[in-house]
Amino acid sequence: MKSTLPSFRRVGAVAAAGTLVASGLLGAPTQAAPASPETATNLAERLGDRTAGIYADHNGTMIITVTDETTARQVRAEGATPKLVTRSAAQLRAATTELERSAKIPGTAWWTDPTTNQVVLSIDSTITGDKLTQVKEAAARTNGAVRIE
């Protein structure tokens, strides 16, 4: 009669290997699904002035702009993708306020571009001479927060 000890060892080794593989798979961290536009919007609203906006990158990933690493960690922890920027929402609002106060001229329009972390000031061809100077001076007072197009 042949000993069954090697068979038991083989079965034990296979069982042990299977257990290690299974526990490795079960214990492996899962990658969070990308944040949906609604999730990113809700998170940005909760962050307040610690974000300067959200946008979808060229892959469709929702990016949440943040002004500090602590907030970036919070965004990552909630399954979203942060991007560190230099200007807060409050700074961009101040730039917009400056434009509303001193450059409210027909032929101008502006909006916040979260991808560049700037307010984009669009001027049409009717803005010339003193009006153009006024618009450029208003943009200059924002310390780079306004980009003229």
- CATH code: domain of residue 101: 3.30.300.50
How many domains is the chain partitioned into structurally? 2
User: Same structural domain for residues 62 and 78?
Assistant: yes
pTM for the whole structure: 0.70
- Residue percentage of the chain with pLDDT more than 70: 77
Instruction: Give the long-range contacts of residues 98-101, CB within 8 A, separation 24 or more.
Output: 98/138, 98/141, 98/142, 98/146, 99/138, 99/139, 99/142, 99/146, 101/138
- Which structural domain range is residue 136 located in? 89-148
pLDDT band at 104 (very low <50, low <70, confident <90, very high): confident
* pLDDT for position 39: 87
pLDDT band at 105 (very low <50, low <70, confident <90, very high): confident
